[in-house]
Structure 1
Amino acid sequence: MSDPARLLADYDRQLRGPSEVADAKRTFRLGPLWIGVFAGDAGFIGYRDLGGLSARGARALVRAATAVLAADTTIARIEWKTRGHDDAPGLHDALVEAGYHPQEPESIMIGAARLLALDLPVPDGVVLRLATSQEDVRRASFAADRVFGEEPNEARAAEMLDRIADGDELWMAEAGGEVVSTGRLSPVAGTDFAGIWGGATRADWRRRGVYRALTAARARAAIRLGKRFITSDSTEFSRPILERSGFVRVSSTTPYEWHRRPESVTGG
């Protein structure tokens, strides 16, 4: 079995800090923080560690970092990404005080790409392929929106096109001309890792092997790109699937989200 402590050390060293904002349109440094503005004018704040910051120091850092991004009125939302193994006393309270809302915690899962790169059968009538055209990406993005109970969002589709231009791959499963499952592969430049994100399978196609086959296709693609490990922030639905494949849970992550209030844009 893989050593969780070693995998976590590799995760902290290779995937945090500069790697998290490598594809940002703009980046800033503020003390231990790496701050980025991504496509869709979304702000992001990450770090490798906070250097034993006190609760008072955390409050001041949160306020300062939020002010940097909030000063740009085109930024409607900010994500501050925390990890469960960090030594960050007072950070939760400081974030909530600054208007951030914690989202559902997820498990950080890591494993060798070869564990997922299996030759799995695909259900009859299902075709797996890369989304290569703008129309493919729109269809796949809109299908994922519907799986998550949301209206199709043009901005998210445009953001996905930007991610693909930066090296990500969007995989899709089609049946009868309809997209029934999607998932993104994100190789991280200069590291041993690729991430698998955004898995979404239509309810009537779950438990039929579609998503596992789509994940295997992404893992094979990661290996072709020279990546040894796969990482994923997993819900309690997907975590057991990866564990059965030999992945290990190395920590947890909780994103905190800040959303601009309408009156702060209009001045009303």
Structure 2
Amino acid sequence: MTDTDTTAALLAAYDGQMRAVQPVPAPGITYEHDGPVLRVVGQHRGFVTGPRDWGGVRGPELDALIARQRDFFAARGEAVEWKTRGHDDPADLPDRLRAAGFVPEPQETVVAALVADLAVQSPVLPPGVVLRRVSADADLERIAGLETAVWGEDMAWVADYLRGRLTVAPDDNEVFVAEAAGEVVSAAWVAFRPGTDFAMLLGGSTLAEWRGKGIYRALVALRASRAAARNAPYLLVEASDDSTPILKRLGFTAMTTTTPYVWTPAA
């Protein structure tokens, strides 16, 4: 099988599994369907996803579908993210989202790799840094503080998000921190989705002064080892522009891109 064939097979598995099988919703979160759209209600902002071809909905019918999602969350006074992928049909979906008032956020690259190629039982860390699996509220709050510091915006919702995932599916979500002298300098988690071939790597934010020291790679290796223990064949990451080059050097293959289109109610 050529590299192109492998990438196409991975992308088909991603579309057929990760877009079709959703995680068990955390307490307070509900799933609602509107035609081909899956609407997630109760998070820090609304979320919309769907199949690759969006159920064949096109033209004015698609405009109406978009408007219904916007108006649903507008009535709740909430922002909503419509998740697009670079290989989706129809090609004019982004234009129709913009026309409805949705604004694109930074594009990410969807990459995948074989777990067996990356699983390392004892990842290399800089002196004084330790990795620890966490679940206590205090640690989740520290992770939210780290995310806020790294991204320069209020990320307090991350603690609630992680708490919810650990509450509803503690066996399918593992959260890790990298600490130096008791300070959380990086954090990452892995989500297993039963019924799929993928373990999804999430987080991976690192304080600026600790970047380039191998911590991100160590967290990838640790989570790969946990995926190996679960017999998950592939790792999946929706990677930022900062993370994508690192992951490609580790052997990840780019499959497609994903761009969140977000509508936000007026202040």
TM-score normalised by the chain length of structure 2: 0.89
1:121 Cα deviation (Å)?
1.4
Matched residue, 2:50? 47
Q: Kindly tell me: are residues 86 and 155 of structure 1, through their superposed partners in 2, closer, same or farther at Cα, counting changes over 3 Å?
A: closer
1:111–1:247: 8 Å Cα contact kept in structure 2?
A: yes
How far apart are the structure 2 equivalents of 1:131 and 1:39? 22
In 2, Cα distance between the equivalents of 1:218 and 1:59? 40
Q: Does 1:171 align with 2:176?
A: yes
Write the deviation string for residues 147-181 of structure 1: whole angstroms up to 9, x where unpaired: 11235x43332222112223322210000110111
Residues 91-106 of structure 1 aligned to structure 2 (within 5 Å): 91-106=93-108
Report % sequence identity.
36
Give the secondary-structure state (helix, strand or coil) at the position aligned to 2:73.
Answer: helix
Q: Within 5 Å, give how 1:1-268 maps onto structure 2.
A: 3-19=6-22, 22-23=24-25, 25-40=29-44, 42-48=45-51, 49-73=53-77, 76-118=78-120, 119-151=122-154, 153-167=155-169, 168-262=173-267
Q: 2-side partners of 1:132 and 1:245: how far apart?
A: 28
Structure 1 unaligned residues grouped into runs of 5+: 263-268
Q: Deviations over 1:199-237 (max 9, x none)?
A: 111111111111111111111112223322111111222
The separation in 2 between residues aligned to 1:28 and 1:233, in whole angstroms, is: 24
8 Å Cα contact 1:116/1:216 also seen in 2: yes
Deviation at 1:96, TM superposition (A): 1.5
Q: Output the CA distance in 1 between the equivalents of 2:189 and 2:42.
A: 17
- Paired with 1:190 and 1:179, the residues of 2 have a C-alpha distance of 33
Aligned-residue offset at 1:18: 4.2
Residues 58 and 90 in structure 1, CA contact (< 8 A), matched pair in contact too: no
CA contact (8 A) 1:4 1:250 kept: yes
Structure 1 residue 115, shift from structure 2 partner: 2.2
Post-superposition Cα deviations, 1:13-65, rounded to whole Å, max 9, x if no partner, equal 0000442x64262111111111111433x211111122443232221110122
Give the letter for the 1:64 counterpart.
Answer: R
- Structure-2 residue corresponding to 1:265: none
Alpha-carbon distance in 1 for matches of 2:204, 2:229: 21
Query: For structure 2, which runs of at least 5 residues remain unmatched after alignment?
Result: none
How many residue pairs were aligned?
Answer: 257
Residues 116 and 219, structure 1, Cα contact 8 Å, conserved in 2: yes
Secondary structure at the counterpart of residue 3 of structure 1: helix
- What are the superposed Cα offsets for residues 113-170 of structure 1, whole Å, 9 maximum, x if unpaired? 222212421111111011221101111221121011235x433322221122233222
Q: Distance in 1 between matches of 2:93 and 2:117?
A: 36
- Partners of 2:261 and 2:160 lie apart in 1 by 23
Whichever residue aligns with residue 35 of structure 1, its letter is R
Instruction: Output the amino acid matched with 1:117.
Output: A
